[in-house]
Each structure stands twice: as structure tokens, then as C-alpha cells.
Structure 1
Amino acid sequence: MLSLRKAATSSLTALLNSIPCQLVRLASTAASAPNISIQDLEVSRQFLALPRTPLPPLSTLVEPAPKTKRTVTNETIRAQRNALFTQEKIRQIESVTRVEKIEVLHRGQPEDVTLIMNKNFSTPLHCAQHISEVLVKRSALAMVDGKPWDMNRPLERDCVLELQHFIQEDPNEANLAFWRTGSLILSYVVDRAFRDDYLVQVHSWPYQDIQSGSFICDVDLDMPEWNPKEDELRALTIIISQLRSRKLPIERLEISADLAMKMFEHNKFKKLQIPVIAEKSPTKDRVVVYRVDDHVEISSGPMIANTGMIGRHQITAVYPIDCHGIGRLYRFQGLAIPEQQPLNYFAWNILVSRARQFNGSPVPINETE
């Protein structure tokens, strides 16, 4: 009988807990993501302009009959949000007229050390750069005074800093950030995968347990019926592969509710959610958004440091879900493991099979959830 190495807080263990141990054995060496062929890349290029249903095989896609031209497209919406994010980030930086110093006590490998950093400018990543290149490469998340903190989020006061990675004794917080980032990446993929005939509106990322087997994102695709083929799922996965290879930082920004409403003025779900989210903030009027590449989404976070920390990955399924008070949404499901965690193909395929099953996380029941 093959044995499964136990590690209660490991994301791999959480995923594998409900799988018979006889079927699983972790590899002792890292395995790279599956090779992507020229044919797959061609499928991706075709997929980025999906026609209206019924969907023919991707290899035979042709341009559909023209519809009424949209004045607002997914691309223009994305560009507007990205521009607003950039403008607000610059405004916040320029609003700091006096640079103050703070003491940051780093605890952990390779040594405990006190750093003098710049308040509201320096981030945990900057601290890691002062200590060790190893910390820069492997740190996915920070703990600031015991609370989870994004690696790219500026420090606001004197603090104790601990840097988290995926193969430490207790990687629970890093794993949760990784899973959350998976949903952000799914929304990134969906936002740019379809023709402008279809207005993409992300509804939400329902809370999901790592043991559910997949991270998810619920989306309105403005189409009545879609049952993606394996080639189409592979084409979606390629978008993640390209993003991963760029090793882009994942940026956090806290903005006013008014700016959030302007940023998401073309998303009917977000316009209802933003007041509720803002009301729960300490000042009753703030919303946290994240940006990866030019894609901006709402989330309380935190996220991992950059897209290069994503290891083997796959978009495994898309399910239509009918939601009371909302209508038809599509639940996108994906699976990934951190780059730092090796896994052999046999075990990976078991996880993929499980991730293809419908994720039973709560389905939205009204537009304010």
C-alpha cells in the first residue's frame, strides 16, 4: 500500500484528505506543468473570440453574423478600471508629503533583524529584499503583528513581521491566500476569454473550503447556454499559463465606495454589493480592490505575492447555475498547486478528476450576496 505523507495544514494534504491513500503518492522531485503544443496555442487564439451557442469545435470556429455593436465592451471596461486604479494609486502616493520612518522587527529565517523602513511606502517585499534573496523568491504572504498581510501592501506602523511560504511547518494562511488568488485568476481569465458580443460580469467568489477540491468564480456570461469542450477548457488554462510565466505582482488598493461604484459602474452585481461591503469597513465607506496585470476585482484579500508562485494548474469545469433572484450564472472551477510544492502526475490527475466534480459551495441567491 502506498503511503501519503501527513501534513495537517498543507494545501496538498487538505485536497488529498478524502482520497484513498492507496491511490496517492507524492513525488520527491518537482514536476513542471504539462507541455503546451503549438496546436493548443492555436486553439487558444481561436477561443479568445467565442461564438454564440451552439458551439462548434474550436478548430472550425468562424466569425458569427454581426450583432448590434456594443458601445461598452469588456476591453473598454477593463481599460477604464485599470486607469482608475492607476490614478488612485498615484494620488495616494503623492498625498504622503512627509516620509516617516518605522521600525520593522523581522522574526524568522535566516535571522531576527530590525529594519528601518518608510511608513506607507515600504512593503514586506521591500523588507525581504533587505534580508535575503531566498525570502524574496519564496515569501507568498506576510504576517504583520500576527495578522495576514499582502507582500505588496505598504506597512503603516512599527510592527513585527513574519514571512510565510508554502513549505513551512504551518502554511495555513499562505494556503488560504493561494486559494483566494486562484479565484482572482479565474476572474482574470473569464474577463478576457470571450468576444465582446458577450458582456462578462463577475458576480462573486463564494467562500470555499480547500477540501472542496477546486477554487471557483461565479460569472454572468450574457449567453443562454454553454457546455465547454475539453479543448475550450485547455484554451482557458493556457491564459493562466501565460500569466504565470510573466510573474506579475498582485497589487492591493483601498479605495472609497464612490470610486468603487465608478470603477464597477458596468457590473450590475457589484453596484449592489459595494454599499454592503463598504458598510462593513471600519470607516463605513471603504472597499479593497486587487489588480493583476490590467484586471481589477473586489476582494478583502490577502493574496499571494505574484503570479509566478502558481505551479501546476488547470481549469477543470464550467457549470451553469440558476440562482434565485439573479438568473443564469456560470460557475468556473479550477485547480492549482504552489510552485514550491512538487506533485507527481498520478496524484495530480486524481486531484483534477475530483476538481471536475461540481463544487457545492453556496450558490448566490440574490444580488446583494
Structure 2
Amino acid sequence: MVTRTACQALQRRFATAATCVPAAEVRCQRSAVFSREQARQRALYPRVEKIEVSVQGPGLDGTMLVMNKGMSTPLSCARHLTEHHVTNSALALVDGEPWSLHQPLTQSCSLTLLTFKDSDPTLVNQAYWRSCAALLGQVLETAFKDNFTVELLSTPEVAVTSGAFCCDVVLDPQLDAWTPSEESFRSLTREAQYLIHQDLVWEPLEVVPAVALEVFSQSRCKLEEVEQKAAQNPKGTVTLHRCDDHVLLSAGPLVARTGLCSQYEVTALHNLEQGPRGLHRRAQGLSLPLQLQSHHTVWRKLRQRAEKLVEVPRLEEVAPPSPPDSTPPASSQ
């Protein structure tokens, strides 16, 4: 585990080395570091060792699969079941913990494959909303010409009931006065739908902070976010995801692939406050998964709601939990 002091030292070193590099080159560098670390982790299992995976779910209880340690994933298990499980599964539970379909299994475990039509789809919905925000960040990062910089800030974790997923961003100062038109939103939406049509995988990778700092060496904001997320994780690690050549930090697992998105629309770009890196903006969008689609009249109402600014409390505005009161409650007379 990298200590907080070591993490800060690495952060300062990478921040000092950060220079203005073309966006395409930055994406290539991030993806290359991701691939290198992914290969290193896979090499930790040079010999094939078997693990037992107990599959839970309707009609599956009692199903036992013998899989390969450090190599097999929940998706590998789904392929031993039916085509329905392969195409409809969006997320997994491994020993009760939310787990990406593409995250290798490292020990014998219980496995439940989750879909959007489960009786309790809460975890899948949360992962889907997080994935839609990740897709929006990927679109924003590549939507502008190379002479306009785009800095993705930390992605707010918002509930599905908020009405829209969000991605905070700082655009080039030359764009501070820019107000996107409806055609601008349609263009961003088309870019997102292109990625959806490609049915790209969100590859997960759990890494130590030193690796994440190298991945995001060109982003001062992400360097700070790496340290924050590592400090919040009891294991001291952070989780990355890669979609094509776009690498992002994630607060939790994402759904398996972009093709699980169906109706998807970029709806708003709100100005927030002026920060040390420039004008903070909040991009927002709305989406429904492939398995759950709506009538156009319902979609129109949902879209109108998704245009309104989603308020996200600042960290310092969230009151810490009150200490337990040692005074016993007064008994009723």
C-alpha cells in the first residue's frame, strides 16, 4: 500500500511534469499505462488454478462452476449458462459485493448475475447511472478541437431519482462565453450514440495510487482525486475503467458495455462557479437501458426534468454524523 505521504510526493512530481500535451496523445498514454498494469496483474497467475463458483438466481441455485483463478470473470461464468444470461446481465454480486462482469475472480465464491428487470434493481440502476455519466465524460473529452482544452473533474455520484446523470467539466477559457445550442446537444448525443452502437466494454482495473497517478499525470484535478479516493478506500487502492482508449476513475463498478444503453440524450450544460482551473460546468444527460424503454411522450417529460440543474451538495456542506448521545432518553411519565 502506498502511504499518504508517498502519494502526495508522487502527486507533486507528476503535477510538476504536467505540460500541455495533445488530447489524443494523453488518451494514448493513459491507455498504455492501463494495458501495462493489466498485463502485470494477469501475469500474477502463471499457473492455471481452479476455483469453485456457486451460481445463485432463479433456476440456478445449486449450480456449481469450476473456473480459472485470476482469469475467469462473471461474464465467463454467464457463458457457461445461457445466451440470456450473457446478453441481459449488467452487473454481478460476488460474495454479496457489487462486481463488474469483466473483473476476474480470485477465489472460490458465490455469484449472482444482475439485470435491469430484477425485483430489486437498485445496484444495477446505480451502476447504469454511473456508466452513463462516464460515457458523457468520454464524449466531452473528445468533442472539441485539439486547440480547446477539456478538463474532466470528479463525477458527482447522484441518485437515479435526481432525474439526470452528471459530469463536471472545465472547458477552455476561450469557451467561457459559449452557450450550447440545441444543435450542440444533438451533436454530443450523436457522439454518445456512436459509442453505444459500437458496444464497447468497460474494462475494470483495481490499482495502487502510484499507477493511477501515472495514468493521470497530465491532469492536476485527477491527481488530487486519486489521493482522495485512495484515502477513502480501506485497501488504499483506486478503481479505473477503460472504454476504448478513454480511462476514468470510478466510485464504483460500471455496467458491462455501452451497448446496454438505449435511449440516451445529452440535455444540459450548466455554469457552476469559477474555480482555480476555470469555470466549472455541469453537463447532464438522460438515458434508459436496452431492456427498459419508454414512450416518446414519457421521454419528453423526463427530458424536460433532466434539463434542470442537478444540485450536488459540497463535501463540506454534508454534516458529519452526530456522536451517539450518552444521555439516556427521558422515560415517559
Q: SS at 1:265's partner residue? A: coil
| Paired amino acid for 1:256 | V
Q: SS at 2:153's partner residue? A: strand
Task: Check the 8 A contact 2:154/2:225 in 1, yes or no.
Answer: no
Alignment-derived partner of residue 90 in structure 1: 39
Q: Quick one: distance in 2 between partners of 1:314 and 1:298?
A: 22
Q: Quick one: distance in 2 between partners of 1:79 and 1:260?
A: 15
Task: Check the 8 A contact 2:156/2:312 in 1, yes or no.
Answer: yes
Alignment-derived partner of residue 156 in structure 2: 206
Alignment-derived partner of residue 245 in structure 2: 294
Alignment-derived partner of residue 105 in structure 1: 54
Alignment-derived partner of residue 306 in structure 2: 355
Establish whether residue 338 from structure 1 lines up as the match of residue 270 from structure 2: no
Kindly report which structure 2 residues correspond to 1:157-176, keeping only aligned pairs within 5 A, or say none: 157-176=107-126
After superposition, the C-alpha distances for 1:181-207 in whole angstroms (9 at most, x for unaligned) are: 011111110110011112211111112
Q: 1:363 to 1:217 in 2, by over 3 A?
A: farther
Q: 1:326 to 1:197 in 2, by over 3 A?
A: closer
Kindly report which structure 2 residues correspond to 1:8-23, keeping only aligned pairs within 5 A, or say none: none
**Post-superposition offset of 1:274:** 1.4
Kindly report which structure 2 residues correspond to 1:146-161, keeping only aligned pairs within 5 A, or say none: 146-161=96-111
Alignment-derived partner of residue 197 in structure 1: 147
Kindly report which structure 2 residues correspond to 1:271-350, keeping only aligned pairs within 5 A, or say none: 271-284=223-236, 286-323=237-274, 327-350=278-301
Percent sequence identity over aligned pairs: 37
Q: Quick one: distance in 2 between partners of 1:200 and 1:265?
A: 15
| Paired amino acid for 1:343 | S
| Paired amino acid for 1:280 | Q
Q: SS at 1:131's partner residue? A: coil
Alignment-derived partner of residue 13 in structure 2: none
Q: Quick one: distance in 1 between partners of 2:78 and 2:284?
A: 33
Q: Quick one: distance in 1 between partners of 2:204 and 2:281?
A: 26
Q: CA RMSD in A?
A: 1.7
| Paired amino acid for 1:74 | A
Q: SS at 1:358's partner residue? A: coil
Q: 1:258 to 1:189 in 2, by over 3 A?
A: same
For normalisation by structure 2, the TM-score amounts to: 0.85
2:211 to 239, 259, 273: 259
| Paired amino acid for 1:291 | R
Alignment-derived partner of residue 323 in structure 2: none
Alignment-derived partner of residue 178 in structure 1: 128
Task: Check the 8 A contact 1:324/1:364 in 2, yes or no.
Answer: no
Q: Quick one: distance in 2 between partners of 1:323 and 1:208?
A: 22
Q: Quick one: distance in 2 between partners of 1:115 and 1:181?
A: 29
Q: Quick one: distance in 1 between partners of 2:150 and 2:276?
A: 18
Q: Quick one: distance in 2 between partners of 1:92 and 1:156?
A: 11
Q: Which 5+ residue runs of structure 2 have no aligned equivalent?
A: 1-18, 318-333
Kindly report which structure 2 residues correspond to 1:73-84, keeping only aligned pairs within 5 A, or say none: 73-84=22-33
Q: Quick one: distance in 1 between partners of 2:171 and 2:277?
A: 13
**Post-superposition offset of 1:220:** 1.1
Range that drifts further, 313-322 or 106-115: 106-115
**Post-superposition offset of 1:282:** 3.0
Q: Quick one: distance in 2 between partners of 1:202 and 1:189?
A: 11
**Post-superposition offset of 1:249:** 1.1
Q: SS at 1:204's partner residue? A: coil
Q: Quick one: distance in 2 between partners of 1:213 and 1:146?
A: 28
Q: Quick one: distance in 2 between partners of 1:186 and 1:225?
A: 21
Alignment-derived partner of residue 22 in structure 1: none
Q: Which 5+ residue runs of structure 1 have no aligned equivalent?
A: 1-69
Q: Quick one: distance in 1 between partners of 2:103 and 2:177?
A: 40
**Post-superposition offset of 1:287:** 1.6
Task: Check the 8 A contact 2:127/2:254 in 1, yes or no.
Answer: yes
For normalisation by structure 1, the TM-score amounts to: 0.77
**Post-superposition offset of 1:252:** 0.3
Q: SS at 2:156's partner residue? A: coil
Alignment-derived partner of residue 178 in structure 2: 226
Establish whether residue 247 from structure 1 lines up as the match of residue 202 from structure 2: no
Q: Quick one: distance in 1 between partners of 2:96 and 2:274?
A: 38
Q: Quick one: distance in 1 between partners of 2:182 and 2:111?
A: 44
Alignment-derived partner of residue 12 in structure 2: none
